[in-house]
Structure 1
C-alpha cells in the first residue's frame, strides 16, 4: 500500500504529528493517515487549503496498467474539446502531470473499455480526497486519485518524455510503448 498525493502538497507536507500513530498501529491505518492529512489542509484558508491524497493498493496496479494499455491501443487521439485536468501550478510543474482517470476515459467512448478501466481504478485507489482547488487557483474538476505524465503523440511530446526519463519507467514499457508502437508512433 502507498499513501501519496497525485498533486503537490503545501510546504508543510504530511502532518506527521497526526499520522505517526496511524503508521505504527498493529495494522497500519493508512486511510486514517490520508484522512488526517486531508482534514488538516481542508480547514486551512486561501492557497493553503490545497490537498489531494490517495491510498493505493499496489497489488492492483497491473490491472490499471492493462486497462490503460487497452484504451491506448484502441486510440491515442483526444477529442477536440478535451481540456486536461492539470495538477501542476507554476512553470516548474504546469506541464508535467495530469489526472490519469480523466485522460484515459477521454480517449475512448467504448463502454466496455471504460468499465474495465474504472473497475481497475476503483480497486487500486482505495481512498481519495481532494479540495475543490489547488493553490486557490487551479479548479480540480476531475480527480481520480492518480496523476500521470501524458506523452503526446508528436515528436515534441516523445522527445520531452525522453528528456524526463519517462521511457525508463516500467509503466512506459507496459503501457505507453506498446500503444505508440501499435499506432506506428515510435
Structure 2
C-alpha cells in the first residue's frame, strides 16, 4: 500500500510539473497558424508617388480581413523618405498601423538590406505562421541582368543616394533562400511573368503571380488584393482575380488612359512552380533541330515588349506558347501544350493592354507567359540569356 501511495504521489507531482512546463511553453512560444504576408515596396525611384496611395489601399483592404490573431500583414515601404517596416492590423474593425522599425535612408534593393527586413519578419516568433506570402513592388525587367547595358534590371530599383541600384534575380533567389517557403509570390512589377525568371525561382514558392507585359501605373488594387491574400484555399488565383477584376470593370477603349482613371486594361497569370521542371523537359523534347530566330522575332510571335521607340531599352518578351507553336511538330506541340496548361493555372487579359511607349495595343496572340528569343547577332543580351537556368535545363541549340 505504501509503495502504491508513493507511486501515486510521484505521478501527481510529475503531472503538476508537466502542466507548469506546458503553461510556460504556451506563454513563451507563439503558436503557429494563419498566414504572414510581407509586402516589400521598393519605391525610391520614379514610382514613389504611387507608394502612399497603395499603402492607403492596403489599409482599406485590411479592414475587410477578419480580425484574427493568425493574420499578419507587414509592409516595408521606401518611397524616398525614411524606409519603414509597418504592421497593419484589423482590431475590432479598425485598422491600426504600427511602425515596427525605422531604417532611415538606405538602398532598399541591396541584398544585405533586404535580408535584414526578411529576417525582421520571417525569423520573428511573433509572426510565425502555417503559411507565408510575399508581394514584391517595384520596377521589373523579367530575367534580364544588370548591369548588362544601360537601363536593364531584373527586379527592383533604388535611386535614393544618386546611384542607380538594381537587384538581379540571382540575388533575389539568394534572399529567398533565407526565408520560409512561400505559398505565393506576387510581382507588382512589369514583365516579371517570364519563363526564365519563374524557373529560377521555382524552389522558393508554390505559385508566382504576375504580368508578362507592362503593368498599369497604379499597380495592384490592394483594397481587393489584400483580402484575397488571406483566403484559406487558392489564394494565388484569388489574388490574380482580385488584381484583374477592378481593371476589367473600368476597361474602356474609348476613354483616355490616366494613372488616376486607368481604362487601359491589364493582364495577369499564375504559374504553379512544381510543374515547371516537367514543362522544361516537354520543351526540350518538342524543340526542333533548326530554328529561324530572325523569322520568329520578325512579328510571327506575339511580343509583349512594345518599347520599339526606345531600342536601347527594348528586350523582346515573346509569347512562350506562340513561339512553341511555330517550332514544334503538331504531335510534339500537343504534348507540350498539356505541360504548359498544367503549369499556367490562371491567365486572363482585357482585349487590349496599355504601354507607356505606344499606347493601347491588342493582346491577340498572348497566352500569359513570355520567353526570350535570341537574335542572330550574338549580342550581350543573347549571351546573358544563355547563362540562365532555363536555357541550360532545356538544352536549347540556339
**TM-score (structure 2 length as normaliser):** 0.40
Q: 1:87 aligns with which of 304, 309, 312?
A: 304
Superposed CA RMSD in Å reads 2.3
Residue 10 of structure 1 corresponds to 216
Q: C-alpha separation between the residues in 2 aligned to 1:168 and 1:40?
A: 39
Instruction: Answer 1 or 2: which has greater strand percent.
Output: 2
Instruction: Answer 1 or 2: which has greater helix percent.
Output: 1
Q: 1:30 aligns with which of 208, 233, 236?
A: 236
Q: 1:160 aligns with which of 381, 389, 396?
A: 381
Residue 276 of structure 2 corresponds to 61
Q: C-alpha separation between the residues in 1 aligned to 2:232 and 2:278?
A: 29
Larger Rg: 2
Q: 1:139 aligns with which of 355, 362, 383?
A: 362
The secondary structure found in structure 2 opposite 1:128 is strand
Which gives a bigger RCO, structure 1 or 2 (Cα 8 Å, sep 6+)? 1
Q: 1:69 to 1:157 in 2, by over 3 A?
A: farther
**TM-score (structure 1 length as normaliser):** 0.82
When the two structures are aligned, how many residues end up with a matched partner? 174
Contact map agreement 2:288 2:327 (CA 8 A) in 1: no
**Aligned: 1:113 with 2:337:** no
**Could you list the runs of 5+ residues in structure 1 that have no partner in the other structure?**
none
Contact map agreement 2:265 2:352 (CA 8 A) in 1: yes
Q: 1:93 to 1:112 in 2, by over 3 A?
A: farther
Q: C-alpha separation between the residues in 2 aligned to 1:65 and 1:119?
A: 12
Q: C-alpha separation between the residues in 1 aligned to 2:229 and 2:381?
A: 38
What's the CA shift for 1:73?
4.1
Contact map agreement 1:73 1:179 (CA 8 A) in 2: no
What's the CA shift for 1:30?
1.6
Q: C-alpha separation between the residues in 2 aligned to 1:157 and 1:84?
A: 20
